[in-house]
């Protein structure tokens, strides 16, 4: 792990905890497992101010390219109400969104997905500073 632990911006951390608390009762077992694992990782996360946030860390609205062997995919991690699979916008509550949040370029993430445990390498992170939907915290 590039920074030794997950890195989250303070206001996004508070917003994420709210989302996770409200979603912990999901009927989907894969979603619940991902939320539980992310909650565990958040216990040791480094929570920092906006001005100290590295540009290569995955956060809300980050556009991320991940790979596994020959396979590669680019997605955007968004708040649940902004998900749109046709535009490759995935919710933070999906196993992929939960797996990537707080990691950085070059990190390898091992996570339990619906089709089994996978290790993904983060090959690119681009920030899109569009906080619509996060107005209550930013």
Task: Check residue 137 and give its pLDDT.
Answer: 40
| Helix, strand, coil in percent for the chain, rounding step 5 | 30, 30, 40
Residue 27 reports pLDDT greater than 80: no
Mean pLDDT of the chain: 89
| Confidence class for position 23, pLDDT limits 50, 70, 90 | confident
Strand-pair partners of 119: 110
Q: How far apart are CA 87 and CA 83, in angstroms?
A: 8
Q: How far apart are CA 101 and CA 73, in angstroms?
A: 16
Alpha carbon 67 to chain centroid, angstroms: 15
Task: Check residue 134 and give its pLDDT.
Answer: 53
Regarding pTM above 0.85, the answer is yes
Q: How far apart are CA 133 and CA 77, in angstroms?
A: 13
Task: Check residue 138 and give its pLDDT.
Answer: 37
Structure tokens at 73: 């995919």
Q: Which domains does the chain have, with CATH numbers?
A: 7-126 (3.10.50.30)
75 in Cβ contact with 118 (< 8 Å): no
Low-confidence winner among 11-15, 111-115, 116-120 (lowest mean pLDDT): 111-115
Kindly report, residue by residue over 42-98, the tens digit of the pLDDT. Answer: 999 999 999 999 999 999 999 999 999 999 999 999 999 999 999 999 999 888 999
Task: Check residue 24 and give its pLDDT.
Answer: 63
Three-point CA angle 71, 8, 16, nearest 5°: 90
């Amino acid at each position: 792990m590039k920074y030794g632990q997950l890195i989250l911006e303070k206001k996004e951390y508070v917003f994420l905890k709210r989302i996770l608390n409200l979603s912990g009762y999901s009927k989907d077992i894969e979603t619940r497992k991902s939320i539980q694992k992310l909650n565990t990782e958040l216990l040791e996360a480094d929570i920092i101010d906006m001005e100290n946030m590295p540009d290569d860390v995955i956060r809300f609205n980050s556009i991320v390219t991940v790979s596994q062997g020959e396979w590669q995919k680019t997605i955007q991690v968004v708040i649940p109400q902004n998900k749109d699979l046709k535009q490759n916008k995935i919710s933070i509550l999906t196993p992929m969104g939960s797996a990537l949040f707080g990691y950085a370029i070059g990190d390898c993430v091992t996570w339990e997905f619906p089709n089994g445990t996978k290790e993904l390498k983060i090959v690119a992170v681009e920030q899109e500073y569009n906080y619509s939907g996060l107005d209550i915290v930013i």
